[in-house]
Amino acid sequence: MIRLKEHYSNVIAPDLSVKLNITNSLELPRIEKIILSSSAEFESGQVRGVIQETNAIKKKSKKLTKAQQNSSSKKQGVSAAMAA
């Protein structure tokens, strides 16, 4: 996303401002969200790679949420002990 944002701000935005005769940079369109779709046709080996990467990302996010839950439960235990 960083490379896209840099390319947009350095190349695309100046060209758009000239073509659309916009002097205020806040009037230029912004990129809010990028959605990548894997509905393109892949060979069998390529699909396995995409699935493995997706599963790895899901596992990382699950671990993160479990760690966040553990830290929040510890904080609640400390605050309950302080209140008693």
- Per residue in 28-47, pLDDT (tens digit) is 988 888 777 766 666 656 55
The pTM of the full predicted model, rounded to 2 decimals, is 0.40
Question: What single DSSP character describes residue 25?
Answer: G
> How many C-beta neighbours within 10 Å does residue 8 have?
15
pLDDT value at 15 more than 80:
yes
Total domain count, the chain: 2
The answer to whether 5 and 31 are in contact (CB under 8 A) is yes
Domain co-membership, 56 together with 84: yes
Domain co-membership, 83 together with 50: yes
Query: Taking the alpha carbons of 20, 25, 26, 30 in that order, is the dihedral positive or negative?
Result: positive
**Structural domain of 27:** 1-35
